[in-house]
Amino acid sequence: MEVSCLWPLIIISILRICRIHALLPIPIVGLEDRTKTSNETKVTCMLPASECQCMEVELKIIAKENLTNCVSHTGNLPNVTCTLDVTKDMREVEVSCEAHFRTKSKPQRLNIQTEPEFTDCPDKVVWIEGEENSFHCKATGHPPPTVTCVKDSMAFMEGETFTAFSNMSGEFYCRATNFDMVSKRVTVSVQYEPRISLIIVQPAASVAEGENLTLICEADAVPPPSYSWHTPTAQLQYEQDNRTIQIKDVKRAHDGFYVCIAQNKHGIQMLKQKIVVNEMEIVPETDLGKVSKPSGAEKTRPEYFGLLAVLTYTSVYYLF
């Protein structure tokens, strides 16, 4: 019964204390807007003209006797309750309660500026032509930096998607920028299927029998392609890379279509070239003239050569 009567008094006392302390100004922490690492910064504490915030309070019961089982409660009506074993000798014992108030400012975060730094940006990347790609170059810093990767007139933001083309191969420079800037070189390799531009024929695609012939397949691809041929005959000589055919002493069997095949892991392309082999012209022997042969084989040859000498002398005479 006595304990229940004390509660209203305790509550009223706490309310009076809260009313008094609610009028107390709350200190405020002041910080600089921006602070860089390794620099000094000022922290100030000031009291506002008028502001009220909730205050923390710690209640403590003070007595000469030992108190046990003390339980504290927080909230709008903070209180603490302890157990005291009463004896007859406690008639003159005094019990008091202390309230310790703590005020604190609103929390403020330090605005510290830090230079950009790449955390995840590979030195080399491989793309496939025609597929969507993007640069994955992460950077930290405060304020958060923007990352842009540049090559010639091309510029891409970090994470921006685009279609890869072969002309993107080469050196990109990725830059992370806030109040400062750092850069990193990224080597890009764009792979693509073979493209055969032409088959070079030396000396020409139309040759005569007995001549020599060379065919060279010109193809571009990344990674470099392997070469093979479909030919009219197997009587051919290939260079080590298989892109060049050497034909010694062309024959009629070499006439026909030559198909170059270039292939890598991304695709295959073929191109054909027709070779025409012409028959060698046979020049008939020219009769210099018919001369009547005298009787006797021995007289035929001297008279023939004598006549030939006369004709030659006469032609030279009239020519000059």
For residue range 39-75, list pLDDT tens digits in order.
666 667 776 654 444 567 777 777 777 778 888 877 7
In a domain, 298, yes or no: no
- The end-to-end CA distance of the chain, in Å, is 165
| pLDDT tens column, 239-286 | 988 999 999 999 999 999 999 999 999 999 999 999 999 987 665 665
Please give the DSSP secondary-structure letter assigned to residue 53.
-
Q: Within this chain, do residues 85 and 29 fall inside the same structural domain, yes or no?
A: yes
In a domain, 244, yes or no: yes
Q: Within this chain, do residues 6 and 87 fall inside the same structural domain, yes or no?
A: yes
Q: Within this chain, do residues 217 and 227 fall inside the same structural domain, yes or no?
A: yes
Residue 304: is its pLDDT beyond 70? no
In a domain, 209, yes or no: yes
Tell me the residue length of the chain: 320
When mean pLDDT is compared across 7-21, 65-79, 129-143, the lowest value belongs to 7-21
Q: Within this chain, do residues 25 and 73 fall inside the same structural domain, yes or no?
A: yes
Q: Within this chain, do residues 54 and 137 fall inside the same structural domain, yes or no?
A: no
Neighbours of 147 (CB within 10 A): 23
CATH number for the domain harbouring residue 272: 2.60.40.10
Looking at 68, 102, 136, the residue that finishes a domain is: 102
Looking at 192, 219, 240, the residue that finishes a domain is: 192
Structural domain boundaries enclosing 64? 2-102
Domain count, the chain: 3
* Amino acid occupying residue 320: F
In a domain, 273, yes or no: yes
In a domain, 288, yes or no: no
The predicted model scores a pTM of: 0.59
How deeply is 129 buried, as exposed, middle or buried, from its count of CB atoms within 10 A (0-12, 13-18, 19+)?
middle
In a domain, 310, yes or no: no
Q: Within this chain, do residues 188 and 203 fall inside the same structural domain, yes or no?
A: no
Share of the chain above pLDDT 90, in %: 51
Q: Backbone phi, then psi, for 115, in 5-degree steps?
A: -65, 150
Question: Are 262 and 221 a contacting pair, CB within 8 Å?
Answer: yes
Q: Within this chain, do residues 171 and 214 fall inside the same structural domain, yes or no?
A: no
More confident residue, 199 or 82: 199
In a domain, 87, yes or no: yes
Q: Within this chain, do residues 95 and 144 fall inside the same structural domain, yes or no?
A: no
Q: Within this chain, do residues 200 and 182 fall inside the same structural domain, yes or no?
A: no
Q: Within this chain, do residues 129 and 53 fall inside the same structural domain, yes or no?
A: no
Q: Within this chain, do residues 65 and 37 fall inside the same structural domain, yes or no?
A: yes
CA 246 to chain CA mean position, Å: 43
pLDDT at 162: 97
Tokens of 245: 């055919």
pLDDT at 25: 62
More confident residue, 8 or 266: 266
Looking at 192, 227, 244, the residue that finishes a domain is: 192
Q: Within this chain, do residues 200 and 267 fall inside the same structural domain, yes or no?
A: yes
In a domain, 274, yes or no: yes
